[in-house]
């Protein structure tokens, strides 16, 4: 299969120019100015072509909670938002503490044929905070272990988990929270576990990824660690933590203060922050009303991030591409996230000038829980391409496996 995309602004973490891009057999074969090939042509209409986005942190609720989301609806939401790969958390039912659950998720995702997925395995078995024996059965399909949503309180357990992760070349992704301290001070709760995990990972020498970092103290500690030469630490922040403050929408970790948002953006600008990840967490309206924390983020991530960072002149579009695509691809060791010859032709065409009003009733996700409803933002996804194949168009919706 061949496809030539003509007349677009081509942007990734290291380039920004107007030209064309040629795809063959699912890979980027060439890009430049004035390309001409005897094949199908997609007219870019001066829109912007970027690497498709890669989400380091999402919940698809499958298996077990598919009334909130499932692999199909989550994948459709991802495509509408410009994402072609997601890293899925393990707080399913059963909890993903075994390769049987991994097999189920990967097989179902392959059968759907919509997006690529990685399924995390829990650090401790069934999130019990203690047991690590199940990690011995993990095979090479698993790159990340995490008890996302559950902090590991025991210093000894986390130390042993990091030793095991180093032995098996796994990334430990941490949700920084000491649940005993949370009722007293959630800021202290996040900071203490952040400081501990950075210290332990430097001691052990394992790869550590701190997810949905939300406090200014945590950002400063990550910056300090990196400046002191800790090369195995990475982190992400969410679109909502970089754009909301003094807001009582219930998420975990919570929305912080303006000073925290300022430090997060400073961390984005100076390279302390490696990636933007959605923490896509769909809930039913009833569950949200009962206090279940979380929001859906895949369909708004680009426009929220673009509006608050690029339109407000905090960073340029190439930096945003690095945050949403390039660095995430590197962390997950994917052949995606950059516009380079030989990379997967996972691409997104965006209309940067289009003003949109967020309407959660039109989300593809089953979840409609968002604090951005009614917000006017810039940047709309025109098309999402995976492996050279048009998977989503704003005019025609999702293209499923049989071509509909």
DSSP 277-291: ---B----HHHHHTT
pLDDT band at 340 (very low <50, low <70, confident <90, very high): very high
387, 82 contact by CB (below 8 A): no
Per-residue pLDDT for 327 more than 80? yes
Per-residue pLDDT for 403 more than 90? no
In this prediction, residue 401 carries a pLDDT of: 52
pLDDT band at 396 (very low <50, low <70, confident <90, very high): confident
CA 49 to mean position of chain CA atoms:
19
Residues 6+ apart with CB under 8 A from 329: 51, 54, 85, 335, 336, 337, 338
Residue of 197, 279, 344, 346 marked active site: 279
Q: How many CB atoms lie within 10 A of CB 361?
A: 6
Mean pLDDT of 212-235: 97
Per-residue pLDDT for 368 more than 80? yes
Mean pLDDT of 109-136: 97
In this prediction, residue 395 carries a pLDDT of: 87
9, 17 contact by CB (below 8 A): yes
Q: Is the link from the previous residue into 253 a cis peptide, with omega within 30 of 0?
A: yes
In this prediction, residue 400 carries a pLDDT of: 53
The encoded tokens of residue 259 equal 């000073």
Mean pLDDT of 290-298: 95
pTM above 0.95, yes or no: yes
The question of whether 353 is a catalytic residue gets the answer no
CATH 3.20.20.140 location in the chain: 52-331
Per-residue pLDDT for 13 more than 70? yes
In this prediction, residue 404 carries a pLDDT of: 39
In this prediction, residue 136 carries a pLDDT of: 96
In this prediction, residue 304 carries a pLDDT of: 98
Q: How many CB atoms lie within 10 A of CB 157?
A: 18
Per-residue pLDDT for 399 more than 90? no
Mean pLDDT of 10-19: 98
Kindly report the CATH class assigned to 52-331. Answer: alpha beta
Q: Which CATH superfamily is domain 2-50+345-398 in?
A: Urease, subunit C, domain 1 (2.30.40.10)
CATH 2.30.40.10 location in the chain: 2-50+345-398
pLDDT band at 171 (very low <50, low <70, confident <90, very high): very high
Q: What is the overall mean pLDDT for the chain?
A: 96
Which element (helix H / strand E) includes 336? none
pLDDT band at 402 (very low <50, low <70, confident <90, very high): very low
174, 117 contact by CB (below 8 A): no
pLDDT tens figures, 38-61: 999 999 998 999 999 999 999 999
């Amino acid at each position: 299969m061949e496809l030539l995309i003509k007349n677009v602004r081509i942007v990734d973490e290291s380039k920004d120019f107007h030209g064309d891009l040629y795809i063959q057999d699912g890979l980027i074969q060439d890009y430049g100015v004035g390309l001409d090939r005897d094949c199908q042509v997609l007219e870019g209409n001066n829109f912007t072509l970027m690497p498709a986005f890669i989400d380091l942190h999402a919940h698809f609720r499958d298996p077990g909670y598919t009334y909130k989301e499932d692999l199909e609806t989550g994948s459709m939401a991802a495509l509408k938002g410009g994402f072609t790969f997601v890293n899925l958390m393990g707080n399913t039912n059963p909890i993903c503490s075994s390769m049987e659950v991994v097999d189920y998720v990967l097989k179902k995702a392959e059968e759907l044929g919509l997006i690529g997925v990685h399924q995390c395995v829990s650090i401790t078995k069934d999130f019990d905070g203690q047991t690590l024996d199940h990690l011995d059965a993990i095979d090479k399909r698993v790159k990340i272990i995490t008890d996302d949503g559950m902090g590991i309180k025991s210093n000894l357990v986390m130390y042993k988990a990091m030793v095991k992760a180093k032995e098996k070349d796994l990334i430990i992704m941490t949700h920084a929270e000491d649940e005993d301290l949370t009722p007293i001070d959630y800021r202290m709760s996040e900071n203490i576990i952040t400081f501990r995990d950075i210290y332990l990972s430097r001691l052990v020498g394992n790869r550590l990824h701190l997810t949905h970092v939300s406090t200014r103290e945590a950002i400063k500690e990550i910056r300090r660690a990196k400046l002191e030469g800790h090369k195995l630490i990475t982190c992400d922040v969410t679109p909502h933590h970089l754009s909301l403050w003094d807001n009582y929408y219930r998420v975990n970790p919570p929305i912080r203060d303006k000073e925290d948002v300022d430090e997060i953006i400073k961390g984005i600008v100076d390279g302390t922050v490696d990636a933007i990840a959605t923490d896509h967490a769909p809930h039913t309206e009833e569950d949200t009303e009962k206090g279940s924390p979380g929001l859906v983020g895949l369909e708004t991530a680009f426009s929220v991030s673009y509006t608050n960072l690029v339109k407000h002149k905090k960073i340029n579009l190439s930096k945003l591409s690095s945050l949403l695509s390039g660095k995430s691809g590197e962390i997950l060791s994917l052949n995606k996230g950059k516009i380079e010859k030989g990379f997967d032709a996972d691409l997104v065409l965006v209309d940067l000038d289009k003003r949109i009003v967020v309407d959660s009733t039109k989300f593809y996700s089953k979840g409609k829980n968002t604090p951005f409803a009614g917000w006017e933002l810039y940047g709309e996804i025109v098309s999402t391409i995976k492996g050279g194949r048009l998977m989503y168009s704003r005019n025609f919706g999702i293209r499923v496996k049989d071509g509909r």
